[in-house]
Amino acid sequence: MSLFQAIRGMHDILPNQIHFWQYLEDKMRHLANQYGYEEIRTPLVETTGLFKRTIGEVTDIVEKEMYTFQDRHEDRSLTLRPEGTAGCVRAVLEHSLAYNKTSKLWYMGPLFRHEKPQRGRCRQFHQFGMEAFGIPTPDIEAEMLVIIWHLWQQLGLRDKVQLELNTLGSVNARQAYREALVQYFERYRSDLDEDSLRRLALNPLRILDSKNPALQEIILNAPKIQAFLEPASEIHFAQLCEYLQHLNIPFILNPRLVRGLDYYCETIFEWTTQHLGAQSALGAGGRYDGLVELLGGQPTPAFGFALGCERIVELLKDTHESEIFPPKPHIYCISQNYACQQEMFLIAEHLRDTLPQLKILIHYGQGSASFKSQFKKADQSGAALAFILGQEEKSKGLIAIKFLRENREQQLYSKTDVTSFLRDYFSF
């Protein structure tokens, strides 16, 4: 037992799990590239003010979940990033990435929130996200949703997910809606729980998010944003819905969807699943046209989303465990002695150069172990072939190949013929 353990809610991703992550990451990276998004990597630590300003003071994240600490060397407060958008917008502004032009970015990496650890909820978790700046129209929204839809398809998860959509309207509409909500919930003040009372004063939209069963009926009958939408917002949202229908992406309209963060307006969405228990949200996003200006930039329309990688990996494991596995080695190299081992190094180096697809392992120990024990390790490695170099083969410029996964006679090849044999054998 080690003297130290990982912090609760912050998990090691072990080698026997990493292939699920790499599988997912490869798909995400490829999709981002296909649609012309550029990767951005921002620091894990930002000044605390950035998150307070962007996420909003009256949100769970800022009120209770941020890992915030005093910089020991300078008089300032720092925070481990709890979400990706704020840092991304900060970087976009700092480097003028969206100044008088559009910019489409993606990122992937860890985030930190001090939540109660449970299944699907960690304190360090990972997100894949995209952000687009300078595009006010619903086509960019449809594009991001179709990218996610492709991801589900490529991961074999389409029948496990559901898209929920809503619009929050313009900032003005949201303000009017907010006032109507306050009036409405004031009438039920005595029924509200402590959390909702606090939200009533500060961020009444978030009462709609409440999971408290006792409040569900009151919430169900609360005014809906639809009554407050301006015509431009209605057209915008209707066009997005048309794109989705046209692209055959199923969705449901959820007028109660509000999202926890302050900065959203117009379109918002969430992908959910019924297959992960209580933590059903796989990812979410929306339009945040006011955020760039809030951080000191020119008014810039923006739209983005983030998907939670842990939950996607969990779904992948549940549904496709037997189809996704780490790539096995092609060749395991066995030698009889020190001189043979040296020669084997050269052969393996040459093969790695000429056939870079090959995964080649070497048995260490300079040939001191018996062939029998080396074969055992070769077999355990999962390799398809064992390359065997004994003194006799070495002196004749040959190499013996044993087929570890098929019932076939061991064969001798000259060093020069090995490459073409491998090309044929693995169909490279």
Per-residue tokens: 29: 């990276």
Q: Which is nearer to ligand AMP, 48 or 127 (CB)?
A: 127
Q: Which is nearer to ligand AMP, 191 or 318 (CB)?
A: 318
Q: Which is nearer to ligand AMP, 70 or 118 (CB)?
A: 118
Q: Which is nearer to ligand AMP, 285 or 367 (CB)?
A: 285
Site for ligand AMP in 44-83 (CB under 6 A): 83
Closest separation in Å from C-beta 115 to ligand AMP: 5
From residue 250 to residue 279, the character string flagging contacts with ligand AMP as x (rule: CB under 6 A) and all else as - is ------------------------------
d(CA 156, CA 374): 39
Query: How many CA atoms lie within 13 Å of 306's alpha carbon, on the beta-carbon side?
Result: 19
Q: Which is nearer to ligand AMP, 122 or 316 (CB)?
A: 122
Closest separation in Å from C-beta 22 to ligand AMP: 19
Size of site (CB under 6 A) for ligand AMP: 16
Q: Which is nearer to ligand AMP, 135 or 315 (CB)?
A: 315
Element (H, E) at 417: helix 415-425
Closest separation in Å from C-beta 161 to ligand AMP: 11
> Do 24 and 89 form a contact (C-beta atoms < 8 A)?
no
Closest separation in Å from C-beta 83 to ligand AMP: 5
Closest separation in Å from C-beta 91 to ligand AMP: 18
Residue 383 buriedness (CB in 10 A; 0-12 / 13-18 / 19+):
buried
Closest separation in Å from C-beta 158 to ligand AMP: 17
User: Is residue 206 part of the contact set for ligand AMP (CB under 6 A)?
Assistant: no
Which is it for strands 252-253 and 265-273: parallel, antiparallel or unpaired?
unpaired
Q: CB under 8 Å, gap of 24 or more: what pairs does 26-32 form? A: 27/151, 27/154, 27/155, 28/106, 28/108, 28/128, 28/151, 29/108, 31/147, 31/150, 31/151, 31/154, 32/106, 32/130, 32/147
Contact stretch for ligand AMP (CB under 6 A) within 49-57, 122-130, 244-252, 337-345: 122-130
d(CA 44, CA 222): 39
Residue in 122, 398, 418, 422 binding ligand AMP, rule: CB under 6 A: 122
From residue 78 to residue 117, the character string flagging contacts with ligand AMP as x (rule: CB under 6 A) and all else as - is -----x-----------------------------x-x--
Residue in 165, 192, 222, 282 binding ligand AMP, rule: CB under 6 A: 282
Per-residue tokens: 309: 């990688």
Q: What is the DSSP string of 3-72?
A: S--PPTT-----HHHHHHHHHHHHHHHHHHHHTT-EE----SEEEHHHHHHHH-SSSHIIIII--EEE-S
d(CA 263, CA 185): 22
User: Is residue 24 part of the contact set for ligand AMP (CB under 6 A)?
Assistant: no
Which is it for strands 331-335 and 385-389: parallel, antiparallel or unpaired?
parallel
Instruction: State how far Cα 127 lies from the chain centre.
Output: 4
Residue carrying the six token digits 């998860």 = 157
Contact stretch for ligand AMP (CB under 6 A) within 95-103, 121-129, 291-299, 398-406: 121-129
From residue 299 to residue 328, the character string flagging contacts with ligand AMP as x (rule: CB under 6 A) and all else as - is -------x-x-xx-----------------
User: Is residue 28 part of the contact set for ligand AMP (CB under 6 A)?
Assistant: no
Closest separation in Å from C-beta 306 to ligand AMP: 5
d(CA 131, CA 105): 5
Residue in 105, 200, 284, 347 binding ligand AMP, rule: CB under 6 A: 284
Q: Which is nearer to ligand AMP, 204 or 308 (CB)?
A: 308
Instruction: State how far Cα 323 lies from the chain centre.
Output: 20
User: Is residue 166 part of the contact set for ligand AMP (CB under 6 A)?
Assistant: no
Residue in 127, 167, 170, 300 binding ligand AMP, rule: CB under 6 A: 127
d(CA 219, CA 185): 9
Cα 106–108–109 angle (5° rounding)?
145
Q: Which is nearer to ligand AMP, 142 or 306 (CB)?
A: 306
d(CA 24, CA 270): 19
* Rg of the Cα atoms in the chain: 28
> Do 268 and 258 form a contact (C-beta atoms < 8 A)?
yes
Q: Which is nearer to ligand AMP, 24 or 122 (CB)?
A: 122
Closest separation in Å from C-beta 66 to ligand AMP: 12
Q: Which residues bind ligand AMP (CB under 6 A)?
A: 83, 113, 115, 120-122, 125, 127, 281-284, 306, 308, 310-311
